[in-house]
Amino acid sequence: MASISKNKEYKSSSDGFDALAFSKMMDDAYVRMGRESKFTQKKSFSPSGFYGSGQCPRFWYLAFEGSHFDNSNDAKSIANMDNGTDRHARIQAVMEETGKLVETEREILLADPPIRGFVDAIIEWEGEMVVGEIKTTRQEVFGYRASTMKGPGYQLIQLLIYMKVLGYKNGFLLYENKNTHEIVVVPVSMTKSNIKLVDDTFEWMRTVHKSWLDQELPKRVFEKKSTECKGCAVFEECSKLWDGTADIPALNLPK
């Protein structure tokens, strides 16, 4: 478990302020403020959820069926998530200052396949609506995004899903460097390859959802020791179940 505290062990004065004890209290407080682990039954796919275990059909089967979700995180992870939320709000405020921002946090709903999500930003550019997603990242990853002008597959598909549902031709991924606050805006358009990617993803979602409706548990697509399984919120529940019968591959996304 990654601790937020970097105070080193030392012998405190009996009548003085114990900085080490207080730093550990801060660490524990962050953990208590994290998302509660509880029984959850999902009604739809989340476009932001296709990372790691989110590419596994068994994960979504259990999510639709209803399962205990282990949402425990260490203090460092929780602090990073809170920081990302704060940065989103600040960047959205800057977007509004440009005069181009139309809307933030628009709810996206679709019945087939069942999808629910929230768009970070919609701007108007020369009379056309453009959807944007805001991402924050550490310096070395930011450098790679800036040099390649590409986002990872799970972030690309999130944006493409929003674009398809809204009927928009263009979108962008805005990355902010956590260290320097520099930004890079990566444009994304509905090219032939992106149309195929999002259409294939929609069909995958339909197949996975149908397997749940038919009560046909998907076969395992990841080893239990894999990163996808170790970081899965329903790992314990999944491990107790048999191997399944539905032959559905993992969601195939570009790297």
pTM: 0.84
Instruction: Return the residue matching tokens 């069926």.
Output: 65
**Cβ pair 76, 92 in contact under 8 A:** no
Q: What angle do CA 97, 98, 101 make, to 5 degrees?
A: 90
6 assigned to some structural domain: no
* CATH number of 183's domain: 3.90.320.10
User: How do the pLDDT tens digits run along the chain, 255 residues long?
Assistant: 555 566 665 555 556 667 677 777 777 776 666 566 678 899 999 999 999 999 999 999 999 999 988 876 544 554 555 555 678 899 999 999 999 999 999 999 999 999 999 999 999 999 999 999 999 999 999 999 999 999 999 999 999 999 999 999 999 999 999 889 999 999 999 999 999 999 999 999 999 999 999 999 999 999 989 989 988 989 999 999 988 999 999 999 998
27 assigned to some structural domain: no
Rounded to whole angstroms, what are the CA distances from 70 to 34, 174, 189, 253? 11, 30, 36, 25
101 assigned to some structural domain: yes
Q: How many domains does the chain have?
A: 1
Q: Which domain holds residue 159?
A: 38-240
113 assigned to some structural domain: yes
Strand 38-40 and strand 115-125: pairing?
Answer: unpaired
Strand 67-69 and strand 38-40: pairing?
Answer: antiparallel
32 assigned to some structural domain: no
235 assigned to some structural domain: yes
216 assigned to some structural domain: yes
248 assigned to some structural domain: no
Contacts of 146 (CB under 8 A, 6+ apart): 175, 184
